[in-house]
Amino acid sequence: MYRRLRLCANNGGFEAIPEPPLRLDLGSVRSTLEREGIAVVDARVMLIAATDPEVTISRSGRLLFKTREAAAAERAFRQLQRWLDLPGTEIDERRPARGGIT
């Protein structure tokens, strides 16, 4: 499960940290996001997705939303949960998992 979204130490954005850490397959995550029409920069150890707001996704499942607006970060987080089948969501058993959690 993800901890509650919290403001980063430098107040530049909001972060969501899974406990325990996940093991995301960034290649699968990238493919899923691109199928949803989201541009993604692959920085090898993390992805930068052009969602609204922009989000950085790490292999451990840490999400960093580049906004100071809590509501915007929450909306983006919920959308990523649906697209990537992240913990804390109900997974429709008729639909195969496609998010890249290994």
- C-beta separation of 33 from 40 below 8 A: yes
Spatial contact of 19 and 1, defined as CB atoms under 8 Å apart = yes
Is the alpha carbon torsion for 23, 25, 26, 30 positive or negative? negative
Query: Is the peptide bond preceding residue 53 cis, with omega within 30 degrees of 0?
Result: yes
**Model pLDDT for residues 29-59, shown as the tens digit of each residue:** 999 999 999 999 999 899 999 999 999 999 9
Mean pLDDT, to the nearest integer, of 75-93? 75
| Sign (positive or negative) of CA dihedral 41, 28, 80, 83 | positive
DSSP one-letter string for 61-88: --EEE--S-HHHHHHHHHHHHHHHT-TT
* pLDDT, tens only, 11-31: 779 998 888 888 999 999 999
| pLDDT at residue 98 greater than cutoff 60 | no
Q: What one-character DSSP code corresponds to residue 82?
A: H
CA dist., res. 46 & res. 63, Å (int): 10
Question: Tell me, what DSSP letter sits at residue 5?
Answer: P
Q: Domains, the chain, ranges and CATH? A: 6-84 (3.30.310)
